[in-house]
Amino acid sequence: MSSYFSDMSRRSFLGCSAGALMATSFPFAHHSLAAASSPRRIILDCDTGVDDAIAILLALRSPELKVEAVTAVSGNVPLALTLPNTLRMVEIAARPDVPVAGGAALPLVRQLITASYVHGENGLGGAEFPEPKLKPLEEPAVQLIRRIVRSSPGEITIVGVGPLTNVALALKSDPPLASQIREIVVMGGSLTGGNITPSAEFNFYVDPEAARIVFDSGVPVTMVGLNVTQKVLIGEQQLSVLESAKTSVSQAAAKILRSTIDHIGKGRGITAKTMAMHDPLTVAHLIDPSILTLKDYYVQIETSGEFSAGESVAYEYPRARSSAPMNIGPAAPEVRAAEVKPNAKVAVGVDPDKFFNLLIPRLTAAS
Ligand code: BDR
Ligand code: CA
CB of 76 shorter than 6 A to ligand 1: yes
Residues linked to residue 292 through DSSP beta bridges, in sequence order: 350
Of 142, 149, 139, nearest to 68 by C-alpha is: 149
Residue 198 forms part of a structural domain: yes
Of all protein residues, whose CA lies closest to atom 4 belonging to ligand 1?
A: 76
CB of 68 shorter than 6 A to ligand 1: no
Domain that holds residue 56: 38-319+338-364
Determine the Cα–Cα distance for residues 227 and 137; give it in Å rounded to an integer.
36
Residue 49: pLDDT over 70: yes
Residue 187 forms part of a structural domain: yes
Q: Are 289 and 345 in contact (CB under 8 A)?
A: no
CB of 207 shorter than 6 A to ligand 1: no
Q: Are 91 and 85 in contact (CB under 8 A)?
A: no
Determine the Cα–Cα distance for residues 336 and 319; give it in Å rounded to an integer.
9
Residue 304 forms part of a structural domain: yes
Residues linked to residue 337 through DSSP beta bridges, in sequence order: none
Residues 6+ apart with CB under 8 A from 214: 160, 164, 167, 168, 171, 184, 186, 221
What is the residue type of 5?
F
Q: For a pocket test of ligand 1, which of 9, 11, 13, 46 has the largest count of ligand atoms closer than 8 A to its C-beta? A: 13
Q: Are 366 and 321 in contact (CB under 8 A)?
A: no
Based on the structure, what is the number of domains in the chain? 1
Residue 19: pLDDT over 50: no
Report how far ligand 1's centroid is from the alpha carbon of 115 (Å): 8
Catalytic residue annotation? 278
DSSP 46-102: E---HHHHHHHHHHHT-TTEEEEEEEE-SSSS-HHHHHHHHHHHHHHTT-TTS-EEE
Length of the chain: 367
CB of 45 shorter than 6 A to ligand 1: no
> pLDDT (tens digit, 9 = 90+) per residue, 334-362?
778 889 999 999 999 999 999 999 999 99
Report how far ligand 1's centroid is from the alpha carbon of 175 (Å): 27
Residue 12 forms part of a structural domain: no
Burial letters for 75-94: b for 16+ Cβ neighbours within 10 Å, e otherwise? bbbbbebbbbbbbbbbbbbe
At 240, which helix (H) or strand (E)?
helix 236-244
Please, how many CA atoms are within 13 Å of residue 181, restricted to the half-sphere of its CB? 27
Residue 20 forms part of a structural domain: no
Q: For a pocket test of ligand 1, which of 52, 207, 224, 260 has the largest count of ligand atoms closer than 8 A to its C-beta? A: 52
Determine the Cα–Cα distance for residues 212 and 229; give it in Å rounded to an integer.
21
Residue 122 forms part of a structural domain: yes
* Residue 55, domain CATH: 3.90.245.10
CB of 49 shorter than 6 A to ligand 1: yes
> pLDDT (tens digit, 9 = 90+) per residue, 235-263?
999 999 999 998 999 999 999 999 999 88
> pLDDT (tens digit, 9 = 90+) per residue, 128-177?
999 999 999 999 999 999 999 999 999 999 999 999 999 999 999 999 99
39-48: average pLDDT: 98
Report how far ligand 1's centroid is from the alpha carbon of 6 (Å): 15
Which backbone phi and psi does 183 adopt, to 5 degrees? -165, 155
CB of 51 shorter than 6 A to ligand 1: yes
Entry pTM? 0.90
Residue 31 forms part of a structural domain: no
Residue 25 forms part of a structural domain: no
